[in-house]
Chains A and B, each alone.
Chain A
């Protein structure tokens, strides 16, 4: 499992960890029911506070990405294809929301938006 956290990012570290793990799960790099490192092990590897790591796991657990099995550890939840579909769109929606806000404040029209989006999408 590869996780990168930034010291200069605006988001708090627990959010960064939670987002990184979400991304790995949604990209299929972490498979359903795969074990995750223990809280203390992850804290050691990332050299961050145990409380911060605990909070990241709690957030992931609340959103249904991971489960903790008493005495056995933490695992990626047994996720259904529907879950993936829903979360993928939700994450994109969240990012778009910010972009739309910026666009609106600068007076960019919906048409301009759609044109820009389709040309950006095709670029890759």
Chain B
């Protein structure tokens, strides 16, 4: 398999926060969603991957290459979409593109012009006049126009309306079709990933909870609900983030089949969403 992104034992130590031993890898042809609550360390991880921050220890390899020896090549083959504005506000879209184009040996001006039309971006408009959604699409147009093989996105959908988010999913689906590309995107809006992501890496409090095939995770985990009397100590030990209210309990299991064997028919076991998994796990850790 052709690994495009490999992160091994990556750590970054701050005075009040530690990202510790983060490891995962992504192969060509797939989309990986990077989820976790605010403050989990997602942006720190992405900045380390982008070489915008100095790591304390560990390893990051992109296309099998190291920044120390191949920074230029990596940046040429990589597209980056950031949630904050990284362009010059006073320039127009076309001026900004003209400034960036010479840095890329694969720049495709024809494709860029086509994408501006598809994304309804007016080349003479100044960056500062663009909405959040337009800025995100402009960043994507830049990434696609230099034929990036891997696109890394930090919270591309935060603050965007459902229409623009849906457009982004269209663009990504199209981008993935030839099987040669890969996308790594962080988000806390997990519904964007429920359908499109192949793999999910879940980060909480600076540590990886899991990095795995999304369908397998959704098949294995389960939300368990039932009457208070049904919550035996054995069952309670199986559940994460359990909440007990006047109408019963609910919690998350990492092994649906096991819980099914433990309980009767009066307990409801549901297939979770990514949001459920994130919510119960984070709550479980906070209570622990």
Interface set of A (CB-CB < 8 Å, partner B)? 7, 10, 12-14, 40-41, 43-52, 55
Binds A, one of B65-73, B173-181, B279-287: B173-181
Q: Which residues of B contact A47 (CB under 8 A)?
A: 169-170, 173, 195-196
A37 vs B134: C-alpha distance in the bound complex, in angstroms?
Answer: 33
The 3 closest A-B CB pairs, nearest first, are A51-B198, A44-B173, A49-B198
A50 vs B214: C-alpha distance in the bound complex, in angstroms?
Answer: 11
Tell me the minimal C-beta distance from A110 to chain B in angstroms.
Answer: 22
Is there an interface contact between B177 and A49, defined as CB atoms closer than 8 Å?
A: no
From B191, which residue of chain A is reached at the shortest CB distance?
Answer: A7
- Asked whether B213 is an interface residue with its Cβ less than 8 Å from the other chain, the reply is yes
Over the window 159-190 of chain B, the binary record of Cβ atoms lying under 8 Å from chain A Cβ atoms (1 yes, 0 no) is 00000000001100110111100000000000
- Asked whether B122 is an interface residue with its Cβ less than 8 Å from the other chain, the reply is no
A12 vs B218: C-alpha distance in the bound complex, in angstroms?
Answer: 8
A43 vs B172: C-alpha distance in the bound complex, in angstroms?
Answer: 11
| Majority secondary structure, A binding face | helix
Is there an interface contact between A51 and B195, defined as CB atoms closer than 8 Å?
A: no
Tell me the minimal C-beta distance from B96 to chain A in angstroms.
Answer: 29
Is there an interface contact between B29 and A50, defined as CB atoms closer than 8 Å?
A: yes
A44 vs B199: C-alpha distance in the bound complex, in angstroms?
Answer: 16
Tell me the minimal C-beta distance from A97 to chain B in angstroms.
Answer: 16
Tell me the minimal C-beta distance from A19 to chain B in angstroms.
Answer: 16
Is there an interface contact between A12 and B173, defined as CB atoms closer than 8 Å?
A: no
Over the window 211-225 of chain B, the binary record of Cβ atoms lying under 8 Å from chain A Cβ atoms (1 yes, 0 no) is 001110011000000
